[in-house]
Amino acid sequence: MRFLLLTVLGCFAVGGAADPGTCGPMLNEVMADPATDWDGNGSYSSRDDEWVELYNPGPGSLDLEGTLIGDGDSTPLIALSGALPAEGHRLVTGAEAAAFQQATGWSVYGLRLGNDGDTVTLLQVVDGDTLLVDSYTYANHEAEDDRSSGRNPDGSATWELFDALNPYVGGLLPPGNGLPPTPGSANGGETVPVIETTWGCLRILYH
């Protein structure tokens, strides 16, 4: 299988917003280290509850046939199908990837998102070539319990740390925005500031 690099820099217009006229599906949000039941099956699994979200900036619906999600060396982990409507989101969980791998006879890894930092790739098969159309490399502090990394707003060039469930107070980039992860729905929202206080002030509030 041949891999070619297809730049997505032309996807973004001035100001960092996605240009709907030039974009295909894009990576929109990633959770590498789940700590709760994100796939909704009633139980927690570090493999099955990982997830990756795709976004279609429009203007039309996209056929996901031939779209693959891969790891840092662009090894495909799941092949997608179906249509993604304009401004729509497609959530892919580790459980879905594992089921696909089992059904196709592949080694069963799920999404295989490393917790010490890793790269997620979005691939597209076109005329026998596999093109790298988007990727996101996240750092160690992004891959902590129930933190996700995502574009804010959807389709922008800016990635932020959605850390409401596990606040990040360090100085590394991307910064925490105080917002909760939003698997399968819009990422937009204003950053919620982190306010430092003392135990004495908290005691007064709850006296």
Check pLDDT > 70 for residue 98.
yes
Confidence of residue 16 (pLDDT cuts 50, 70, 90): low
* Number of residues that make up the chain: 207
Amino acid, res. 12: F
Instruction: Please compute the mean of the pLDDT values over residues 61-74 and round it to a whole number.
Output: 94
Check pLDDT > 50 for residue 50.
yes
- Which residue is it, tokens 């988007």? 134
Instruction: Please compute the mean of the pLDDT values over residues 41-55 and round it to a whole number.
Output: 98
Instruction: Please compute the mean of the pLDDT values over residues 144-152 and round it to a whole number.
Output: 98
The rounded distance, in Å, linking the Cα atoms of 40 and 97 is 15
The CA radius of gyration of the chain, in Å to the nearest whole number, is 18
| Domain definitions of the chain by residue range | 3-205
Mean of the per-residue pLDDT values of the chain: 86
The rounded distance, in Å, linking the Cα atoms of 107 and 104 is 9
Over pLDDT 70: what percentage of the chain? 80
